[in-house]
Amino acid sequence: MVLHNISLPPGKFGTGMVESLFCNALDCSSDPQLADLAGVEVSAHLFIDRRGRLSQFVPFDLRAWHAGVSSWRGRSGCNAFSIGIELEGTDTRPYSAKQYLRLASTLRWLLRTYPRLSVDTIVGHNEIAPGRKTDPGGSFDWSRLFDSV
């Protein structure tokens, strides 16, 4: 289970643009900060917005395109064997209490539903793509999460 952060445009929340991106329907001409996303096709299994609302974009038994070039425990291509969970946020801004509550309840459900998963399979994007990715960032409170899972 790979935790990410995303906001579109960068640093702005509640725009609906993240959802559009994951549905391949983002109008990249609507904001100059989106120009680099033209033609990009990415997805995540889940997205948790600032209010703690959960959206699913890809079924758990199908591959989502969230990890990019990645490896974990000697195995490359994490998209093939991971669940991508995007949190609406940035590396530097604290996540909301509602996001932590929803994330913890979602992770508990995943752990009960998929016995091959365990708490030690919850990682940040930065851990599977070191040097390339930094999310969920320094503002993510791992202790808070693990204490509630």
Catalytic residues: 86
β-strands 84-88, 2-6: how paired? Answer: parallel
Read off the amino acid at residue 140. Answer: F
Query: DSSP character for 94?
Result: P
**Computed over its alpha carbons, how large is the radius of gyration of the chain?**
15
- Report the alpha-carbon distance of residue 52 to residue 70 in Å, rounded: 27
38: which residues sit within 8 A by CB, 6+ positions away? 28
